[in-house]
Structure 1
Amino acid sequence: MIYLPALAQKDTSENGKGLTRNMIEGGKMQGFLFTDVKGIRLQFSGYVQADFIHDFMETGNIHAMQPSTITVPGVGEGNTAFTVRQSRFAFTAFGVPDAKGRALKAVLEFDLWGSLSGAPRLRHAYIQHGKWTFGQYWSNFMDDDNWPNIMDYWGPNSYVWTRQVQLRFTQPISNTMKFSMSVEQPGGDISIPNGWSNKTIYPDVTAAFQKNFGRKNESHIRLSGLMHPIDYKNSDKDTKTSIGSAFNLSGNINIGNNDDVKFQFAYGSGYAKYSEDISGQGYDGFAAANDKKIRQINMLATWLYFDHFWTKSLGSTIGYGYLKLNTPDLTMPDATLKATHYASFNTTYYFTTFFKIAGEVLYGKRENRDNTSGDDVRAQFSAFFKF
C-alpha cells in the first residue's frame, strides 16, 4: 500500500488579497496536485461556501439577489434560506508544452447549483493550447478580471456575465496589451408568438482589447464588442436573422495598496442573453402576433463598485448596479420589465488565506412598464473555505 503525504495549506501575510471574489472567479486560486503521470499533471481545487439568507420581501430567487424576480407590487412576506449551492470543485490538467513551447491546459469545473438539493452543475469545460481556447468558458464579451468582492452569487444585476461554448483566439500585443476574438454559441433570447420558432444558425462574434497599467499592472481598462445574430422562423415559415450588437467598457482601477474601483458600462440592442439578471427571460427581441419580424430591445447595463481593505484581515465592499430596457415603442404587456436596481454592502473577515466569513446587506428593486414596482432587502451571512 502506498501512502501519500497530506500537507496543510500555508498561510501568508496577505490573508484577504488571495481570497477575493476576483481571484476565485478568475481561476487564480491554486489547488492540490495529486498526480503526475506521463507528462500530465492533474490538480484538484474548489471551495465550500455556506450561505444563510433572509429576505424581508417576497422574491422569486431565494438563493441569490436577482431583482428581475422580485414580486410586483411588493409583498411583505419574507423568506429564510440556508444553502451551500455556491460550493464548487474543479479538475485542471496541465500537459507538457508542444514542440513550439505552447502551453496546454484543460479545465472541468462544477458547482452545486443544479437543484435545490445541491446537485452538481457544469460551469466550465475548456481546453487552452497556446493562444487558443476551445470549450465552455466566460464569454469574451464580459470582463472576467473585475469582479467586485461580494458574497452574493449573482452579483450586480447589470453584470454582463455568462458562460459560452466558444472558440477564442488571444493575441498579446505587448507586455501590457492584448487583443482577443471569439465565435460563441448561437441562439437568441426572444419573446415570440405561437407558431414562431427560435433557430440557431449563425454564431455570435466578439472582439476585445485590454490595456493593463499601474503598479505591477494590477489595473486595466477593457473594451469589447459583440455581434449577436438572432435567428428565428416567423408564422409564414420564413427564416430570418436580426443582428444584435453592443459594446462593453469595463475595468479595475487600483488606487492604492488597499483600494480598487471596478466598473462596467454596456449598451446596445438585442443582447439581453448576456445579462446576469434577465438572461432567459426573452428580452433580446419581441414580436407581436401580427408582426413578420422581431424588434430588438435596447439595453443599458452599468455598475460601479469599491473594494477596500481596512487591514490584511478585514475588508469591505460597496456598490450599485442599474439595468434599463427601452420598450415604450413595443406592444408588450404592462408587467414587462422596465428597469432593475441592485445595491450591496459587506464586511469580510479573513482568518487565513483560505477561510473567511462575511456579512452582507443587499437591496433590489424591479420596475415595470406601467410604473409599478417592488423591492426587497436581504441580509446574508456566509462562511467560505478554499481548498
Structure 2
Amino acid sequence: MAQLEAQVQALLNAQQQQASQITQTQGQIAQTQGQISQTQTQLDEVRTRVAKVPAGKQPIQAQSIMAGAMPNTTFTFGGFIKMDGMYTDTSDGRIVDGSAGRLFYVPAAIPVAGAGADGGDGYTDFHAQFSRFNFSMDTVTDNGDKIKAYLEADMFGGGSNTFAGNETSTNTYALSLRHAYVSWNHWLAGQTWSNFMNAEVLPDAVDFLGPTDGVIFVRQAQLRYTNGGFSVALENPQTTMGAYRTGVRSNSGDSSLPDLTAKWQTKGDWGLFSVAALLRQFKYQDETDNGAALSVAGKFNLGKADDLRYQVNGGKGIGRYMALGLGPDTVVDADNDLHAQDGYGGWVAWRHLFSPKVRTNLYYAQALLDNDVEYTGYGVTERAQSWHANVIYSPYPKLDLGAELSWGQRQLEDDRSGDFKRIHTSVKYSF
C-alpha cells in the first residue's frame, strides 16, 4: 500500500509539473505572437511610406532620425552656402591680409596713417567662410510644454591645423560656433544673440553685417527669461580696456557680476519696435567701475514695397557691444584705475522692392566715441561712418545674387582719418 501511494503521488507531481510547463509555454507563445503583431505593424508602416515614394526612388531613412529623442520631436536642418568676392581700396595703407577686415566691413580695420600716406593699388579677395549650417530639435510635450535645442556653425574664425586659413593651396577653415542653446517655454540657456541686440531689424546687406559702425552685435552665453514682448537676461561679462595714452587693447575676465540686459519689443502689420537696456560691472584686478546703456531699434513698413529700419544706441561702457568693439569699454589710467568710456551710434536703412525678384537697400551708419583724452591720448578712434548701397537679384526664391558699393571713414582724436571704398559681390543659396 505504501508503495502504491508513493507511485500515485509521483504521478500527481509529474502531472502538475507538466501543467505548469504547458501554462508557461502558452505565455511564451502569446508573447511571441504579440511581438510578431508589432513587427507586422511596423512593416505595414514602412510599406505605406515606401508606397508614397515615387517610382524608382527609395526613402532616405525608414525610421526617425532622432531615435533617441523625446516623443513628438521634430528635426530640421538648414543654412546657406555663400561666396563673397570683393575689391577694396583704402587711402592710408592696406588692411592686413587674412584679417577680418578683408572678409567684411570692419570700421576698426580701416588704416589711418596721416598726411602723405599712400594706400597703393586696390586688392581683391574671394572667400566662402560665411557659409553655415544649423540643426534644430523641437519638442511639444503632451502637456503643451515647448522644448528646443539649436546648434549653428560657420567656417569664419576657426583653425584646426597647420594649413588652416592658408590661401596658398587649401583654404582650409575649421568650424566656428555661432549658436548653441536649449529653451524650455519661457527660459533659454546657452549661446545666442545678446538680449541687448535686435537681429530682426538688421538691413538686407550683401556684406556680412552691413551698418557695422552703429550696430549692436554680440553673441554670448546667457540665461534668459522671456514673457510676451519682455525679456531679461544674465550674460557673460567681459571687460575690454585701453592702456593709458597708448590705445593698446586688452581684456579682463575679472568681473564678479554678469552683464544684465532687459528688452521690450512689440510688432504688428505696421512693423517692429524695441527698447533695450544694459547694466555692466567692469573689473581689473581690484579696481572696478560701472556702465549703463540704451538701444532703440525698429522697422516701419512704408507700404508693400518699402520699409525703413533704424537703431540708435548710447551709454557709458557700451564699448564691446557696439561696432564690433570699435572703442574699449574702459581706459586704465596711470594708477591702474578704470574709467568707463561713453559711446554713441546708430544707423538707418531704406529697403525697396522693385519686383519679387529684385530689391535694393541704401543705408548709413555712424559711431561717435566720447574719449577722455587725458587717459586715452589722441591716437585713438573718435568716430567712424559709412554709406552702403546694394542691389540683390533672386532668380529663384532661395538664390540671391548681390552687388554692394561701400564707402567708409575712420577718424582719430588728432583729426587724422582714413577712407575705405569697396565693391562687394556675393552668391548665396539658402536651404
Work out whether the TM-score is over 0.5: yes
User: Larger helix proportion, structure 1 or 2?
Assistant: 2
What is the deviation of 1:186? 1.3
1:133-148 alignment, distance < 5 Å: 133-148=188-203
CA contact (8 A) 2:293 2:315 kept: yes
Which of residues 56, 70, 84 is equivalent to 2:110?
Answer: 70
1:86 alignment partner AA: F
Question: In structure 2, what is the Cα distance between the partners aligned to 1:341 and 1:6?
Answer: 56
Question: In structure 2, what is the Cα distance between the partners aligned to 1:271 and 1:196?
Answer: 15
Show the counterpart of 2:129: 85
Question: In structure 2, what is the Cα distance between the partners aligned to 1:257 and 1:309?
Answer: 8
CA contact (8 A) 2:95 2:111 kept: yes
What is the deviation of 1:98? 5.9
Q: Is residue 51 of structure 1 aligned with residue 84 of structure 2?
A: yes
Show the counterpart of 1:335: 379
Question: In structure 1, what is the Cα distance between the partners aligned to 2:191 and 2:394?
Answer: 32
1:1-387 alignment, distance < 5 Å: 35-37=65-67, 38=69, 39=71, 40-57=73-90, 58-60=94-96, 61-73=101-113, 75-97=119-141, 99=143, 101-115=144-158, 116=165, 117-156=172-211, 157-172=213-228, 178-192=229-243, 198-213=253-268, 215=269, 219-233=271-285, 239-278=286-325, 283-288=328-333, 290-387=334-431
What is the deviation of 1:333? 3.5
Distance 1:35 1:52, change over 3 A: same
Distance 1:292 1:276, change over 3 A: closer
CA contact (8 A) 2:240 2:252 kept: no
Matched residue SS, 1:291? coil
State the TM-score, normalizing by the size of structure 2.
0.75
Question: In structure 2, what is the Cα distance between the partners aligned to 1:59 and 1:264?
Answer: 28
Of 193-202 and 51-60, more deviation after overlay is shown by 193-202
Question: In structure 2, what is the Cα distance between the partners aligned to 1:69 and 1:278?
Answer: 11
2:330 alignment partner AA: G
Cα distance per residue 1:94-152 (max 9 Å; x no partner): 123363x1211111100110243432100000111111111001000011210100011
What is the deviation of 1:77? 3.5
Equivalenced residue count is: 344
1:226 alignment partner AA: L
CA contact (8 A) 2:242 2:376 kept: no
CA contact (8 A) 1:34 1:42 kept: no
Matched residue SS, 1:273? helix
Matched residue SS, 1:331? helix
Question: In structure 1, what is the Cα distance between the partners aligned to 2:53 and 2:131?
Answer: 22
CA contact (8 A) 1:318 1:346 kept: yes
1:275 alignment partner AA: M
Of 68-77 and 318-327, more deviation after overlay is shown by 68-77
2:320 alignment partner AA: K
Cα distance per residue 1:270-299 (max 9 Å; x no partner): 1211123326x6x101012x2242111100
Q: Which runs of 5+ in 1 are unaligned?
A: 8-32, 173-177, 234-238
Q: Which runs of 5+ in 2 are unaligned?
A: 1-45, 55-62, 159-164, 166-171
> Which structure ranks higher in relative contact order (CA pairs < 8 Å, sequence separation ≥ 6)?
1
